[in-house]
C-alpha cells in the first residue's frame, strides 16, 4: 500500500522573483505609467499621478538625508492612513532608511517601548487622531521637546530620538512640519540619493513591524525590500491587478494589510491606491468606492459586515468592483457569499499569513471554485514552501493537522536585536514556525484549524494575552490574571480577563478598564472581566485557558466563527 502524500507544498512558478529594491521598482513603474493615477485621497484633496508621487518621494527622501539621517537609521511613523504615510513609506526605502511602523492606537507605555527597542532617530507623527493626542503623549515621554531646537531633541527617556516631523496641525515646538522636509534638500542631497540607489541591496532591512508574543514584550519583525516587494507583487498577481485598477484601502497602513497587500500590490502593477479616510468608516468607504469607481476593496470580515449591513448600502453603485482581499481573521462563509453577490466582488480572494512572512503564504485566486474560496485560505504562493509538522517536527500526511511552517524569500531577517526569540521562531533550516495549526488537502488547499499559541484575533488585530497579562500584573490589587479570547459575532474574537484579586482587596471591572485607558491600545482592553478565586488547572499546575474560553462562551451565549 503506497504511503499517504505528505503535507508539503511549494509554489513552483514561471514568473521570477523581483531582484531589485523598492525604489528601483517604483522607478520602473513611474517610467511605464507616469501619467496614470497613483494615489487618491479625497479627504486630503490628493490626486497624484505616478509621476507626481515619484517627485514627492524623491524630494522627501532627499530632505531626510538633509536632516542628517543615514542608511539603516530607524524612522518611526505614528499616524493614521494619509498621503504622508505613503510618501514616507517609499521615501525611506529610497534613502535606505528602516521604516518603523507604530500602531496609531498605541499609548504611552507602548510608544516608549517601540521607540527605544529599535532606537528610532526620527519620528514622523500625526498631531492627533480620534482620542489620541500624539504630540501630547510624545511630550509626556519627552518634555524636552518643548524647548528643543527642531531636529536637535535630546530626551532622557528617548535617548536615540533626535528628529520629530509633524503631520498637520498648528506648528508645535521642537518639531519640523512634514511639508518643510521636502524643501530642505539641496543639489548635494539629490546627488547623494542617486549615489545611494545602486549601493542599496534588496536584502537590506527596510521595515520593522511590531508583533507581540506570548512571552510579553512586542518583537520587531525585520523585513527587507525583497520580502515585502515580492510579496506585494505576487499578491497583486493573484488579484490580476493592472494599471486600470483602483484599489480601495480602508485597512491600516501600519499593518502589512495596508502597506503590502495594499500599497505594494498596487505600485508593482501600476494600479491606483485609494484611501477613503484616516480610519475605517463603512459609509465613507462605500461612498469612495462608488464615486471613484474602485475595482478592488480590501478589508477584514468585520469591515465587510459593517458595509453590507449599513442602512444606506443599497444606495451605492458598486458595480465597478471585481476583486479585493478579505483577511485578518476567520472569514465567515456567509459574509464571503454576500460580498460576492451583493458587492459584485466575483474575484475576491482570501489570504493567510503573518507579519514575519511578509505576510502572505497562501491565497485563493479568481479561478478557484467559490466553495474553495469561502472555505479555505487557498494554495501556496509562488516561490514559497510550506510544511505541516507534528510536535516532533515530522511532516504529517495530507489532511492531518499540525503546525504550519513557511520557508522562502518571504521569511523575515529576524526579530530586531533579539537572537533568542528569532531562534525560537526560525529553525536552522530557515523554516518559520507560525504557531498556527493547519491542514493541507490533496489538492494543496490550506485550512487554518486553530492556534498553538494563545493569540487572539480581534477584528483583524493580533492580540497576545501575555502582553495584556503582564500589564495588568502592575495593578496593585491584582494577584493573578489570565487573558484569553472568546468568540464574538462582530469582531470574530473579543478579549476576556479572569482576575484573582489580592487577599482582602476589592476590585471592580471599571477600575480595571480605567487602569488600562491611555496606557495600552483600546483594542487590547478586556471587554469581559470576571473576578475568580481560582483558575482551572491541570494536575501539573498548568492553567487551562480552553476551559475558561468554553465557560465564557456558554455564559455569553456565543459560539466559534467558522470558515469551513
Per-residue pLDDT at 467 = 80
Rounded to an integer, the average pLDDT of 450-464 is 77
Q: What pLDDT, in 10s, does the model give residues 151-197?
A: 999 999 999 999 999 999 899 999 999 999 999 988 999 999 999 99
Using the predicted structure, report yes or no on whether residue 69 has a pLDDT greater than 80.
Answer: yes
3-state secondary structure 347-366: CCEEEEECHHHCCEEEECCC
In a domain, 45, yes or no: yes
Q: Residue 130: pLDDT band by 50, 70, 90 thresholds?
A: confident
Q: What angle do CA 295, 298, 301 make, to 5 degrees?
A: 130
Per-residue pLDDT at 561 = 43
In a domain, 145, yes or no: yes
End residue of a domain, out of 166, 198, 219: 219
CATH number at residue 540: 3.30.300.30
End residue of a domain, out of 165, 198, 219: 219
In a domain, 295, yes or no: no
Residues 42, 286 contacting (CB under 8 angstroms): no
Worst-scoring range by mean pLDDT, 186-195, 237-246, 293-302, 333-342?
A: 333-342
Higher pLDDT, 13 or 503: 13
In a domain, 265, yes or no: no
Per-residue pLDDT at 334 = 76
Q: Where are the alpha helices (DSSP H) in 240-281?
A: 256-258, 265-267
- Report CA-CA distances (Å) from 128 to 78, 102, 144, 184, 253: 10, 14, 19, 25, 16
- Which of the residue ranges 16-30, 333-347, 538-552 has the most confident prediction, judged by mean pLDDT? 16-30
Cell readout for 359 is 505576510
In a domain, 387, yes or no: no
Question: Residue 304's closest CA among 279, 335, 261, 267?
Answer: 335
Using the predicted structure, report yes or no on whether residue 215 has a pLDDT greater than 50.
Answer: no
Using the predicted structure, report yes or no on whether residue 328 has a pLDDT greater than 50.
Answer: yes
End residue of a domain, out of 219, 245, 272: 219
Using the predicted structure, report yes or no on whether residue 52 has a pLDDT greater than 60.
Answer: yes
528-531 vs 492-501, strand pairing mode: parallel
Note the Cα 549 to chain centre separation in Å. 26
Q: What pLDDT, in 10s, does the model give residues 339-375?
A: 999 999 999 999 999 999 999 999 999 899 888 887 7
Cell readout for 378 is 487557498
Per-residue pLDDT at 329 = 66
In which domain, by residue range, is 513 found? Answer: 456-556
Q: What pLDDT, in 10s, does the model give residues 18-33?
A: 999 999 999 999 999 9
CATH number at residue 172: 3.40.50.980
For the chain, the domain total comes to: 2
Q: Residue 460: pLDDT band by 50, 70, 90 thresholds?
A: confident
Beta strands in 358-472 (DSSP E): 360-363, 379-380, 384-389, 402-408, 414-415, 432-440, 446-451, 456-458, 461-463
In a domain, 39, yes or no: yes
Per-residue pLDDT at 131 = 87
Per-residue pLDDT at 319 = 98
Residue with cell 462563509: 333
Per-residue pLDDT at 4 = 74
Using the predicted structure, report yes or no on whether residue 450 has a pLDDT greater than 70.
Answer: no
**How far apart (Å, rounded) are the C-alpha atoms in residues 74 and 208?**
9
Per-residue pLDDT at 538 = 55
3 state DSSP class of 259: helix
In a domain, 135, yes or no: yes
Q: Residue 539: pLDDT band by 50, 70, 90 thresholds?
A: very low
In a domain, 395, yes or no: no
Amino acid at each position: 500500500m503506497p504511503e499517504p502524500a505528505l503535507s508539503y507544498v511549494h509554489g513552483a512558478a514561471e514568473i521570477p522573483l523581483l531582484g531589485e529594491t523598492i525604489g528601483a521598482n517604483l522607478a520602473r513603474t513611474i517610467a511605464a505609467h507616469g501619467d496614470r493615477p497613483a494615489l487618491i485621497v479625497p479627504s486630503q484633496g490628493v490626486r497624484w499621478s505616478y509621476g507626481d508621487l515619484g517627485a514627492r518621494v524623491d524630494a522627501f527622501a532627499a530632505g531626510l538625508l538633509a536632516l542628517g539621517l543615514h542608511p539603516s537609521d530607524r524612522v518611526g511613523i505614528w499616524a493614521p492612513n494619509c498621503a504622508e504615510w505613503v510618501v514616507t513609506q517609499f521615501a525611506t526605502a529610497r534613502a535606505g532608511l528602516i521604516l518603523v511602523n507604530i500602531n496609531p492606537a498605541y499609548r504611552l507605555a507602548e510608544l516608549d517601548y517601540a521607540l527605544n527597542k529599535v532606537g528610532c532617530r526620527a519620528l514622523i507623527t500625526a498631531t492627533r487622531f480620534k482620542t489620541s493626542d500624539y504630540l501630547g503623549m510624545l511630550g509626556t515621554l519627552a518634555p524636552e521637546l518643548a524647548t528643543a531646537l527642531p531636529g536637535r531633541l535630546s530626551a532622557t527617556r528617548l535617548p536615540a530620538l533626535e528628529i520629530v516631523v509633524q503631520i498637520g496641525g498648528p506648528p508645535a515646538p521642537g518639531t519640523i512640519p512634514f511639508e518643510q522636509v521636502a524643501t530642505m534638500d539641496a543639489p548635494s542631497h539629490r546627488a547623494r540619493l542617486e549615489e545611494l540607489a545602486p549601493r542599496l541591496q534588496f536584502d537590506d532591512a527596510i521595515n520593522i513591524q511590531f508583533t507581540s508574543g506570548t512571552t510579553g514584550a512586542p518583537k520587531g519583525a525585520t523585513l527587507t525590500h525583497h520580502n515585502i516587494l515580492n510579496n506585494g507583487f505576487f499578491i497583486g498577481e493573484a488579484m490580476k491587478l493592472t494599471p486600470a485598477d483602483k484599489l480601495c484601502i480602508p485597512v491600516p497602513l501600519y499593518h502589512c494589510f495596508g502597506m503590502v497587500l495594499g500599497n505594494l500590490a498596487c505600485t508593482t502593477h501600476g494600479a491606483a491606491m485609494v484611501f477613503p479616510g484616516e480610519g475605517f468608516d463603512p459609509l465613507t468607504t462605500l461612498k469612495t468606492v462608488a464615486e471613484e469607481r474602485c475595482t478592488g476593496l480590501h478589508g477584514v470580515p468585520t469591515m465587510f459586515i459593517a458595509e453590507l449591513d449599513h442602512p444606506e448600502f443599497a444606495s451605492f453603485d458598486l458595480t465597478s468592483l471585481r476583486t479585493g482581499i478579505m483577511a485578518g481573521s476567520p472569514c465567515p462563509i456567509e459574509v464571503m457569499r454576500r460580498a460576492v453577490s451583493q458587492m459584485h466582488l466575483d474575484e475576491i480572494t482570501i489570504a493567510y499569513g503573518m507579519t514575519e512572512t511578509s505576510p502572505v503564504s497562501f491565497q485563493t485566486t479568481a479561478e478557484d471554485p467559490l466553495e474553495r474560496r469561502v472555505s479555505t485560505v487557498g494554495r501556496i504562493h509562488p516561490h514559497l514552501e510550506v510544511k505541516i509538522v507534528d510536535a516532533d517536527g515530522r511532516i504529517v500526511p495530507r489532511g492531518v493537522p499540525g503546525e504550519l511552517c513557511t520557508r522562502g524569500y518571504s521569511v523575515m531577517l529576524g526579530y530586531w536585536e533579539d537572537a533568542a526569540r528569532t531562534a525560537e521562531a526560525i529553525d536552522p533550516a530557515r523554516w518559520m514556525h507560525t504557531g498556527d495549526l493547519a491542514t493541507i488537502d490533496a489538492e494543496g488547499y490550506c485550512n487554518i484549524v486553530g492556534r498553538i499559541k494563545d493569540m487572539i484575533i480581534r477584528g483583524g488585530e493580533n492580540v497576545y494575552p501575555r502582553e495584556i497579562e503582564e500589564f495588568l500584573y502592575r495593578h496593585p490589587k491584582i494577584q493573578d490574571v489570565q487573558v484569553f479570547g472568546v468568540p464574538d459575532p462582530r469582531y470574530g474574537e473579543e478579549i476576556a480577563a479572569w482576575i484573582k484579586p489580592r487577599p482582602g482587596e476589592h476590585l471592580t471591572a471599571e477600575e480595571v478598564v480605567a487602569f488600562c485607558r491611555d496606557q495600552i491600545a483600546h483594542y487590547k482592553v478586556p471587554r469581559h472581566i470576571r473576578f475568580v478565586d481560582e483558575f482551572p488547572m491541570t494536575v501539573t499546575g498548568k492553567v487551562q485557558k480552553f476551559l475558561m474560553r468554553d465557560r465564557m462562551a456558554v455564559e455569553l451565549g456565543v459560539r466559534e466563527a467558522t470558515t469551513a
